[in-house]
Amino acid sequence: MTNLLRVGWFRSVHVKNLDAREYRALLWARSTLVRRLTDIENSVRGLLRGFGIRLASMLRGRRDTKVREATAGHPTLTLIMDPLLIARSMLRDQVAVIDKRVRDVAREDPVCKRLMSVPRVGPIVALTYRAEVDNPSGFNSSKSVGASFGLRPRRYQSGETDGVSSINRAGDSSVRVALLDPLRLRRSCDDQSADHEQKHAQGAQPLQTPCNKPPNRRTSPSRRMTS
C-alpha cells in the first residue's frame, strides 16, 4: 500500500459525509419496509384469487375487514390469512413511524427545505437528491449532475450512422426514479387539466382530478411521500 501511494498508482475518490450516509440509510430502510408491505399485500390478493375471491382494487383502510369477511366461511383460509394480516398491520405501523422520521429530517435540512419548495417535490425526492449529490462542488457544471445519474442520452455511432437514443441509465437508479416521478406526475396533471378545460369549454361540468383535489392522508405508503 505504501509503494502504491509513493508511485501514485491510485485514484482519489470522494467519501460522502456522515449526514449523506445517514440519509441514504434512512431511505433504504423505508424502501425495504414498503417493498415487504407490498409483497404481503400482493400475496394476500394472489392467495385469495386462487380460491375464487377477488378483492376490490381500492380498499384503503378496509383491506383487513374485507379479507376477513371474504374468508369467513373458510376456516383453513382464515388461519392462513391471519398471520399475513397481522404482519401487514405491523409493517404499516412501522412505515408510518419511518415516514414521520423522513419528514422531520427533510424539514430540518436547509437544502431539502429549498428543494421541497419546488412543486411536486416531497421529502423522499429531496432527501434522495441531497444524499446522492452530497458535495455540489465536486461537479464541474450542472450538466455533470444529470450525467452522473444516467440522464444523459445514449449515442450510437457506427459507420455513417450517428444517432441519439434513450438515456444511458448509469449511476444510481433510485435517483433517476426520484427525479423523474415528479416530472411524470406534472406532465400527467397538465394533460388532465388541458383535457378538462377543453370539455368545460364545450359545456361539460368541471371535474375534480387527482391533481387539483385535496391530498388524501390515507394513500399508499409508496406514494405518500412524493408530493
More confident residue, 149 or 79: 79
Q: What is the pLDDT of residues 101-130, one digit of tens each?
A: 999 999 999 999 998 998 888 899 899 888
For the chain, what is the mean pLDDT?
A: 79
Copy the grid coordinates of residue 42.
400482493
Residue 20 has pLDDT above 70, yes or no: yes
> What phi, psi does 139 have (nearest 5°)?
-105, 135
- Write down the pLDDT at residue 194: 61
Q: How far apart are alpha carbons 63 and 81 in whole angstroms? A: 12
Q: What is the pLDDT of residues 149-201, one digit of tens each?
A: 777 777 777 777 777 777 777 777 788 878 777 777 766 676 666 665 665 56
The pLDDT assigned to 90 comes to 95
Answer yes or no: are the C-beta atoms of 33 and 40 closer than 8 Å.
no
Backbone angles phi, psi at 165, to 5 degrees: -115, -145
Q: What is the reported pTM?
A: 0.70
Q: What's the pLDDT score for residue 208?
A: 53
User: What is the C-alpha to C-alpha distance for residues 67 and 47, in angstroms, rounded to an integer?
Assistant: 11
